[in-house]
C-alpha cells in the first residue's frame, strides 16, 4: 500500500513557521522541509512526500508496540470519550479500574496503580513518595535517591537530576539535591578487568551507599535494560546482588520500565527476566502504544499502606495530582493494547523475532569491523559502532548518524543514541513493533548492511 498525499505544503509551512520539534537542531529547516509523518499501518509509516518506511523504532522512541492503525484501540477510545472523557483522579473511572486490575495481574507482588501521563511524571511520583516516606519514617534523613551512569529517567529538572546522560543534563542545571550517581554496568566498557563483572558492578552501588551513609539513602532507581544510554543489558549476577544490597540497607528499589514495560523485551516487564522484587515500577511509552498518553507508577501494598496509616493526619497521604492522569482515553487504550498482545501472542513473537534480530546483527558484526558489540533483549537491540575494535574508540557520531540517514533513504527508520553521552553517541538502536515478522527483521538488517558498507567503505 502506498499513499499519495494531497498537497499538504500548507501544513509543512505551518510546521516550519510555528512548531518547535523535540530534540532537534532547527537551522536546517530554513532550507529543507521538516519531516512530517502522515499515516501509519502495521509496521509501516508514510511521510508527507508519500514515501513509505519500515519503522524499526516503533514511532522513533520505543512506543508503538502493537503497530499502527489498530482500529479496536481507536474504537475503544472513541466510545470511552463519548461516555466519559475525564474526571479528576481523586475519583475512579471504569477503564481506570479495569486496566489497573489487568495490569496488576501481570505484576505479582504489586497492588496499586497511580495514573499520570508521561514517563518523567511517573518517575517524579516515585521520587516524591520516597521523599515523603523519608519524612514519615526517618525524620527526612533517608531521602537520597541513587541513579546509574548512562540511565535516563526523563526530562524534568528532578528527572535530569537523576539522569546518567550528561549531554541531556548539560546547561539545564543547577539540579535538585539528593540524587547520587552510581557506576554503569556495561560489560563491553567495563571499568575494571574482573571475572565476575556483574557482581563487581553491583558492588559499586554498595560502595556509594556506604560512602553516602545507608541511613541517608532511600531508593535506588534503575532501568532493567538501559535504553537511550546505549541498550545496556545487565551482566550476569548483577541483579541478584542489587537485590541483596537493597534488602541489606533497607533501600526501596524503583525500576524504570518506561521503555522495557509491556512486552518490549519478551516478558510483560523487563525486570521479570531477572527475578527482581521492585517497590516501584514506572511505565509509559508502550502502555497504550502511543494511541493515548498514559503513564503508571505501580507500587506494593506495603508502600501504599504507609500513606494511609494515620487517617487523621491531613498531611499524611500522598498529596499529589496529575490533571491528565484523570483522562480515560489512556486506560481504555491500554486495555485494548494489552488484549492485543495477549490474543496475538506478541510476547512469544517478541522473543522469537528478537532472537532473529540479534542473530542478524551478530552476522553483520562478522562482516563489518565497525560493529564492536551487539546487545539486546527481545525486540530491543543495539549495535555499538567503534573506529577500532582493540581500543573500542567510538566512531565519530556523524558517521553513526550517516548510517541512520542512509537507512532512512532506503525506507527503513532506525535510531541511534542521541545527545546522551559525550563521545559515546555511537549505538544504533532497533526496536521494531512486537508484531514484526521474519521478513521485517531481515529487511531492517539488510538496510543496515548496505548502509554500513556505504558509510564505512
Ligand X SMILES: Cc1ncc(COP(=O)(O)O)c(C=O)c1O
Q: Which residues bind ligand X (CB under 6 A)?
A: 61, 118-120, 123, 152-155, 223, 227-228, 256, 258-259, 284
CA 376/CA 264 separation, integer angstroms: 11
* Distance in Å from the first CA to the final CA of the chain: 34
Closer to ligand X at the Cβ: 40 or 154? 154
Place of cell 495481574: 105
CA 275/CA 278 separation, integer angstroms: 10
Strands 37-41 and 381-388: unpaired
Beta-carbon neighbour count of residue 17 at 10 Å?
7
Closer to ligand X at the Cβ: 187 or 256? 256
Closer to ligand X at the Cβ: 155 or 196? 155
C-alpha cell at 159: 528527572
Q: How far is the CB of 432 from ligand X (least distance, A)?
A: 17
Per DSSP, the three-state class of 409 is: helix
Longest dimension (CA), the chain: 72
Place of cell 514511532: 59
Closer to ligand X at the Cβ: 155 or 351? 155
Phi, psi (degrees; rounded to nearest 5) at 237: 85, -10
Q: How far is the CB of 163 from ligand X (least distance, A)?
A: 9
Closer to ligand X at the Cβ: 163 or 372? 163
Strands 427-430 and 381-388: antiparallel
Per DSSP, the three-state class of 449 is: helix
Q: Are 346 and 356 in contact (CB under 8 A)?
A: no
How much is the CA Rg of the chain, to the nearest whole Å? Answer: 22
Place of cell 514515501: 51
Q: How far is the CB of 135 from ligand X (least distance, A)?
A: 25
Residue of minimal CB distance from ligand X?
119
Q: How far is the CB of 367 from ligand X (least distance, A)?
A: 30
Q: How far is the CB of 34 from ligand X (least distance, A)?
A: 20
CA 342/CA 354 separation, integer angstroms: 18
Q: How far is the CB of 377 from ligand X (least distance, A)?
A: 14
Q: At what angle do helices 438-456 and 346-367 cross, to 10 degrees?
A: 30
The enclosing H or E element of 385 equals strand 381-388
Closer to ligand X at the Cβ: 258 or 353? 258
CA 383/CA 362 separation, integer angstroms: 9
Q: How far is the CB of 120 from ligand X (least distance, A)?
A: 3
Closer to ligand X at the Cβ: 202 or 297? 297
Closer to ligand X at the Cβ: 119 or 183? 119
Closer to ligand X at the Cβ: 354 or 415? 415
Q: How far is the CB of 151 from ligand X (least distance, A)?
A: 7
Q: How far is the CB of 81 from ligand X (least distance, A)?
A: 22
Amino acid at each position: 500500500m502506498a499513499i499519495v498525499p494531497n498537497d499538504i505544503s500548507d501544513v509543512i509551512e505551518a510546521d516550519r513557521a510555528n512548531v518547535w520539534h523535540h530534540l532537534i537542531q532547527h537551522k536546517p529547516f530554513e532550507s529543507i522541509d521538516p519531516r512530517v509523518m502522515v499515516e501509519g499501518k502495521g509496521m509501516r509509516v508514510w511521510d508527507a512526500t508519500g514515501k513509505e518506511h519500515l519503522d524499526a523504532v516503533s514511532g522513533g522512541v520505543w512506543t508503538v508496540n502493537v503497530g499502527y492503525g489498530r482500529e479496536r484501540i481507536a474504537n475503544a477510545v472513541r466510545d470511552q470519550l463519548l461516555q466519559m472523557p475525564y474526571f479528576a483522579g481523586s475519583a475512579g473511572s471504569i477503564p481506570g479500574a479495569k486496566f489497573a486490575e489487568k495490569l496488576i495481574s501481570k505484576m505479582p507482588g504489586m497492588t496499586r496503580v497511580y495514573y499520570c501521563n508521561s514517563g518523567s511524571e511517573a518517575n517524579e511520583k516515585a521520587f516524591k513518595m520516597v521523599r515523603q516516606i523519608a519524612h514519615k519514617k526517618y525524620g527526612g534523613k533517608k531521602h537520597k535517591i541513587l541513579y546509574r551512569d548512562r540511565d535516563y529517567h526523563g526530562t524534568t529538572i528532578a528527572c535530569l537530576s537523576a539522569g546518567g546522560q550528561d549531554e541531556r543534563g548539560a546547561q539545564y542545571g543547577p539540579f535538585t539535591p539528593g540524587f547520587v550517581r552510581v557506576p554503569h554496568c556495561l560489560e563491553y566498557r567495563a571499568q575494571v578487568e574482573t571475572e565476575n563483572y556483574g557482581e563487581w558492578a553491583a558492588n559499586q552501588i554498595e560502595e556509594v551507599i556506604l560512602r553516602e551513609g545507608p541511613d541517608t539513602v532511600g531508593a535506588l532507581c534503575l532501568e532493567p535494560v538501559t535504553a537511550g544510554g546505549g541498550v545496556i543489558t545487565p551482566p550476569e549476577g548483577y541483579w541478584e546482588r542489587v537485590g541483596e544490597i537493597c534488602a541489606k540497607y533497607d533501600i526501596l528499589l524503583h525500576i524504570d520500565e518506561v521503555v522495557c514495560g509491556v512486552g518490549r523485551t519478551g516478558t510483560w516487564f523487563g525486570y521479570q527476566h531477572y527475578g527482581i522484587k521492585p517497590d516501584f515500577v514506572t511505565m509509559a511509552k508502550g502502555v497504550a502504544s502511543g494511541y493515548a498518553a498514559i503513564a503508571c507508577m505501580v507500587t506494593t501494598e506495603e508502600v501504599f499502606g504507609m500513606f494511609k496509616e494515620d487517617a487523621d493526619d491531613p498531611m499524611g497521604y500522598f498529596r499529589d495530582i496529575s490533571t491528565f492522569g484523570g483522562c480515560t482515553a489512556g486506560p481504555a487504550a491500554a486495555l485494548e493494547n494489552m488484549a492485543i498482545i495477549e490474543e496475538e501472542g506478541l510476547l512469544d513473537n517478541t522473543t522469537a523475532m528478537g532472537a532473529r534480530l540479534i542473530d542478524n546483527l551478530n552476522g553483520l558484526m562478522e562482516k563489518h569491523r565497525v560493529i564492536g558489540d551487539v546487545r539486546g533483549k527481545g525486540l530491543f537491540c543495539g549495535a555499538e559502532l567503534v573506529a577500532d575494535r582493540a581500543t573500542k574508540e567510538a566512531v565519530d557520531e556523524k558517521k553513526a548518524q550517516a548510517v541512520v540517514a542512509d537507512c532512512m533513504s532506503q525506507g527503513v527508520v532506525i535510531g541511534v543514541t542521541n545527545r546522551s553521552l559525550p563521545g559515546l553517541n555511537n549505538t544504533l538502536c532497533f526496536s521494531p513493533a512486537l508484531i514484526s515478522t521474519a521478513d521485517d527483521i531481515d529487511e531492517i538488517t539488510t538496510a543496515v548492511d548496505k548502509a554500513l558498507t556505504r558509510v564505512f567503505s
